Amino acid sequence: MPKFAPYCFVTVTDQKALDAVHESGSSNGSFRDRHPWLVARELLELASSNEELVPIVFVVEPDLKLKDWAIVRDIDVVTYSGQAYETQCAFERLRPVNPIFEALDSIVLLPSSEQVHRETLEPIRKYRQHLDDVHVFPYAICETPAFAYTEADIESAKPAY
């Protein structure tokens, strides 16, 4: 059975873009950004090698609410003239975020590996920083949210590899 990576990607889009994916009737969608998602691509490759799925959560402007999420299939970063970039992120079918999780701060930023290691070895309190409007642009790397772990969604998810 597929399992989720401990991290996900969160990015901002507009409602029209999400509506277009929903209305297309396709089980796949794509997202484009002019920022190079180089670390996201590396993390997706790592997750794929571990047979893990990586969610992407879409935040809609202007109110910055979590709206939909999906499983990332591929991230391709293209360089034009060595100065301009375009990231193309392909994903599986969109799933709605439950309204109780729509607030931006319902997701937390991924802590550093040093922080997680310290929390594991030392008797210290866990510290997490909630996602905010500063860290969501152009994308954020966060802990995989609880709403992604429902048994039905795990069973219906297609592997990203």
pLDDT digits (tens, 9 = 90+) for 137-153: 999 999 999 887 764 45
Strand partners, 39: none
φ/ψ of 68, rounded to 5, equals -135, 160
**DSSP characters over 61-116:** ETTTEEEEEEEEEEEEEEEETTTEEEEEEEE---EEPPGGG-SGGGSBBPPPHHHH
Residue pLDDT, tens place only, 36-74: 999 999 999 999 999 999 999 999 998 999 999 999 999
pTM of the model: 0.86
Quick check: 161 pLDDT over 50?
no
For strand 52-53 and strand 3-4, is the pairing parallel, antiparallel, or unpaired?
parallel
Percent of the chain with pLDDT over 70: 92
Instruction: Say how far apart CA 82 and CA 91 lie, in whole Å.
Output: 26
